[in-house]
Amino acid sequence: MELAHKQIDCSLKTILSVSLPLILSALSNNLLYIIDRMILARYSLNAMNAAVMSGSLVAIYAFFWSSISGIAEVYVGQSNGRKDYGELAKPVWQMIYFSLLGFVFYFPFGYFTEYLNLLPDYCKEEGIQYSKVMTYCASLPALKMAFASFFIGQGKTKIITYTVLFGSIANVILDILFIFGYSDIVPEMGSKGAAIATILAECIQIAVLATLFFSAQNRKIFNTFGMNARKYDSKMFFGCIKLGLPLSIGRVFELLAWYVIYALVSHVSKDLATVWGICVSVYVLFAFVCDGLTKSSATISANFIGQQSREGVEKSLKRFILFVLGLCVLLAIPLVIYPESIFFFLDKTGENISHLYLSISLVLRVILVNILFEACIGVLWGIFLSGGDTKYPMIVSLTLLYAIVVIPSAILFFMNKLYAAETIYYISLIWDVSVLALFCRRYKSLKWWKVLG
């Protein structure tokens, strides 16, 4: 267990101690979904394509609820910055209640999932089975984020890393068991088995985090099971929703945009869908940089906001940017210098797809640049989030995404000009540059700080 009280500063040591575990945690969390797809690719490419596309739809449901639930970390971080330790557990409990409400909300989506999917015929059956199981449990990530926010808001991020790593290992074992089956004991279930494995891995992580949250030490120091913490607080409950809703809506429409694009691609040809599915999976794997940096930036900035230190936010931003550049240099090794390391795993798929490697390698280079820009965007978004400035970044990001990426892609599709996956990735670079430029302008205006005031 990490120290009970942890003070956040803007030193490089603090940036690294908070960011690295969260980045590794995001890597492990993303790896959980990539493992599903790699093992499914070994089972059949149709099953992999079904999981990627259905997973894109389920991600919309999951992120809508978990983005709101994760806002509790901002409240925890601000209370930790003020050293008001008795209030740390209250927002966590409010989001636990919110997460449990999600199971009721998502039941109809799971029941009618076959009417909501845009799956092509060659992978429709596998996709429906996968999305039905995942949708019924789409609120589990929100429950995990509610417990995790207690530790993230304090900068105790190693706990999250170890928990997610443990869950990922469990997911590998469960994937193999449920996808391929075992003797006469466990039947072969394909994509449905992958979904069940992922759900069980999520449950394992929740159980670990809940056990730590309710530990004797946390009950004593932070009163995590006290009546004051457990009591329903409508002001804080709806305060979390109000703060998290713009980000949540933004994430939903962003994921919806990429789901529509994948649907367009999948209806062009199976080869194009395979290239897109593989590249999206690789992007999701390496996008751990963006996910981790947004969370760590929000955590550190929220603590400085609790201390009323704008200078601390400014200093930490400069160190974050240097950190991003260093990480992208490391990511260039598998994505640009040695893409063969990725092709090695693709050679293990159930079908020969070596004729797609040239197209995949071109996309991987663009992905690296995408990650560089989106990591910088993520750092700024974390700062805006910690200050309560959530509407502006959401509106800007979504408006430009649909105007620059979705609409042109749809036009190319209907004109029968959508031949290559790299075309969409090149277009997305324009979107990244535009969003980053407007975010930098917003940061310099200090309106995110004035929202707090």
Q: The pTM is what?
A: 0.72
Whether pLDDT at 32 is above 50: yes
Q: How many domains in the chain?
A: 1
231 pLDDT band, cuts 50/70/90, is very high
Whether 301 is covered by a domain: the verdict is yes
Whether 406 is covered by a domain: the verdict is yes
Burial class from Cβ neighbours inside 10 Å (0-12, 13-18, 19+) for residue 323 reads buried
Whether 439 is covered by a domain: the verdict is yes
Whether pLDDT at 99 is above 50: yes
Tell me which residue of 225, 309, 288 sits closest to 31, measured CA to CA. 288
Q: Tell me what the pLDDT averaged over the chain comes to.
A: 83
Whether pLDDT at 295 is above 80: no
Whether 355 is covered by a domain: the verdict is yes
Give tens-digit pLDDT for 241-269. 988 887 788 778 887 888 888 788 878 87
Structural domain boundaries enclosing 96:
12-452
Whether pLDDT at 8 is above 70: no
Contact 266, 57 (CB under 8 A): no
Burial class from Cβ neighbours inside 10 Å (0-12, 13-18, 19+) for residue 266 reads buried
Name the range with the highest mean pLDDT among 13-22, 193-202, 314-323. Answer: 193-202
- More confident site: 1 or 40: 40
Contact 78, 19 (CB under 8 A): no
Whether 3 is covered by a domain: the verdict is no
3 pLDDT band, cuts 50/70/90, is very low
Q: What percent of the chain has pLDDT over 70?
A: 89
Q: Residue 7: its pLDDT value, please?
A: 54
Neighbours of 354 (CB within 10 A): 9
367 pLDDT band, cuts 50/70/90, is confident
Q: What angle do CA 375, 306, 302 make, to 5 degrees?
A: 15
Tell me which residue of 18, 8, 27 sits closest to 334, measured CA to CA. 27
Whether 119 is covered by a domain: the verdict is yes
Whether 171 is covered by a domain: the verdict is yes
Give tens-digit pLDDT for 176-217. 999 998 888 888 888 889 899 989 999 999 999 999 999 999
Distance between CA atoms of residues 428 and 208, nearest Å: 38
Whether 2 is covered by a domain: the verdict is no
Q: Residue 2: its pLDDT value, please?
A: 46
Distance between CA atoms of residues 390 and 383, nearest Å: 10
